Amino acid sequence: VFVFLRNGKILNLARGATVVDAAFQIHTEVGLQMHGVEINGKPQPISYKLNNGDVVSILTGEGRPTTEWMRFAQSRSTRSKLRAYFRSKQHDSIRKSGELIFFDYLKQHSDEIRENSYLGYEFEIPTNAEELSHFLPGKTHYNDVEELLFAIGKSHNPNFLRTKLSKIFLVPLKMLEASDESRFAKITQKVYDSQIESNSVSLQDETDEDTQLSNVDLPDGGTVEYADAECACRHCLPINGDTIVGTKGHTIDAPTIVHRLECPYAQQALNDAKAGVNGDEVIGDPVKLVWSDAALEEGNSETFLTEIVIMANDRKLLLADCSVVASKNSEILKTGSSSNAEHCTLEFLVRVSDLQELQILMNKLNEVHSVMSVERRFGSELLE
């Protein structure tokens, strides 16, 4: 099959060749960056089979191959280039997973590692790959930090991770194991308590909530204010769609802080107002709040912090799989993880636009293989 490019160049392709084959024959980078094609001046799908005399215009920019392209690639050369690309992306994903796992673990155990290390000199816990490279190989066989992070991501085995940390920073392996068991037990209990608290709150019907707010002597005769996302309470992390109440301190320029209704600070302000006593000077008085119409509109760019806790049966690439889902449905700011012999707890601090987007994210994470439960944490333990 002979086809023409816009510059007049002729491509000689095998019979049955598609747009994908043409793009990669022009140049590998053209194929990798292709996001569309025009044949004889008209848009066509990349699965289009080329005919003699076709004029091909490959559109490049923000394109990225998908595994579906393998079905459209007819030449051995094209398939080889695609396989190399997918292997590279998988390697990058595994290495990134290893980096997340390693440095999250280091941060969680930084004090214990410094206090129990036998390195014989004072040191700062590394926070990135470059800083970590100065500690290698230690008593490991890893001279290259990239190889180490890839091995950790590929293994996704807490024993493997602890062993490498023990050999790099010369800390007792038993100490790391005991620390992990203790931390996992604490997180599991906190998640359980959070579930009980959430279930208790959900039993209150909307009528009770409306009554609770309307019976309070609010300032300015109960004037309703619009919630400001920048003034969200850091203790409860409300997001668009939550039932909310505000508190306003006693100073003139005090902002109105936005709380979830069940937030203890909001409840204290409400109870003080009901009792007719002066509210706490810092917490202040309760204020009726609603989300603005702009905040409820589709396409609104305002986002809110929230934290998700995932309980799962531990397996290889679990963090990587969950990270992919979370990054597609939110903006990930921070992660945390802990595990015991069988189970794993993953924590994600993310930004979402509203309660509906959060629910979609949680539903998607629940579909990840080996995930047992996904819960929204009240407030955050990752937020600094």
- Cα distance between residue 13 and residue 157, in whole Å: 47
* pLDDT at residue 17 in the model: 93
- For range 262-287, the mean pLDDT: 78
Of these ranges, 181-185, 299-303, 367-371, the one predicted with the greatest mean pLDDT is: 367-371
* pLDDT at residue 219 in the model: 45
Residue among 103, 191, 208, 204 nearest 381 (CA): 191
Q: Which position has the higher pLDDT, 194 or 11?
A: 11
Asked if 32 and 85 count as a contact pair (C-beta separation under 8 A), the reply is yes
Q: How many residues are present in the chain?
A: 384
- Cα distance between residue 243 and residue 233, in whole Å: 13
Asked if 170 and 118 count as a contact pair (C-beta separation under 8 A), the reply is yes
Percentage of the chain exceeding pLDDT 70: 85
Asked if 52 and 3 count as a contact pair (C-beta separation under 8 A), the reply is yes
Give the single-character DSSP code of 7. Answer: T
Which residues in the chain belong to E strands, given as ranges?
2-5, 10-12, 34-39, 42-44, 55-60, 225-226, 244-248, 256-260, 285-287, 289-290, 304-313, 331-339, 343-352, 371-377
Asked if 125 and 183 count as a contact pair (C-beta separation under 8 A), the reply is no
* pLDDT at residue 281 in the model: 64
- The pLDDT tens digits of the residues spanning 295-306 come to 555 555 688 999
With cut-offs at 50, 70 and 90, classify the pLDDT of residue 336. Answer: confident
- Cα distance between residue 287 and residue 35, in whole Å: 51
Cis, bond preceding 137 (omega within 30 deg of 0): yes
Any residues with CB less than 8 A from the CB of 62 and at least 6 apart, and which? 33, 35
- For range 68-81, the mean pLDDT: 90
* pLDDT at residue 210 in the model: 43
- Cα distance between residue 96 and residue 136, in whole Å: 19
With cut-offs at 50, 70 and 90, classify the pLDDT of residue 190. Answer: low
* pLDDT at residue 200 in the model: 46
* pLDDT at residue 98 in the model: 82
* pLDDT at residue 194 in the model: 53
What single-letter amino acid sits at 258?
V
Q: Which of 46-50, 98-102, 191-195 has the lowest mean pLDDT?
A: 191-195
Asked if 378 and 306 count as a contact pair (C-beta separation under 8 A), the reply is no
- Does the pTM surpass 0.95? The reply is no
- For range 42-70, the mean pLDDT: 89
- The pLDDT tens digits of the residues spanning 115-139 come to 888 888 888 899 898 999 989 888 8
CA pseudo-torsion sign 281, 282, 286, 292: positive
- Cα distance between residue 310 and residue 328, in whole Å: 17
One DSSP character per residue, 101-153 reads: HHHHHHHHTHHHHHHH--SSS--PPP-SHHHHHTT-STTSS---HHHHHHHHH
**Residue 18, phi then psi, degrees to nearest 5:** -110, 180
- For range 293-318, the mean pLDDT: 77
Give the mean pLDDT of the chain: 81
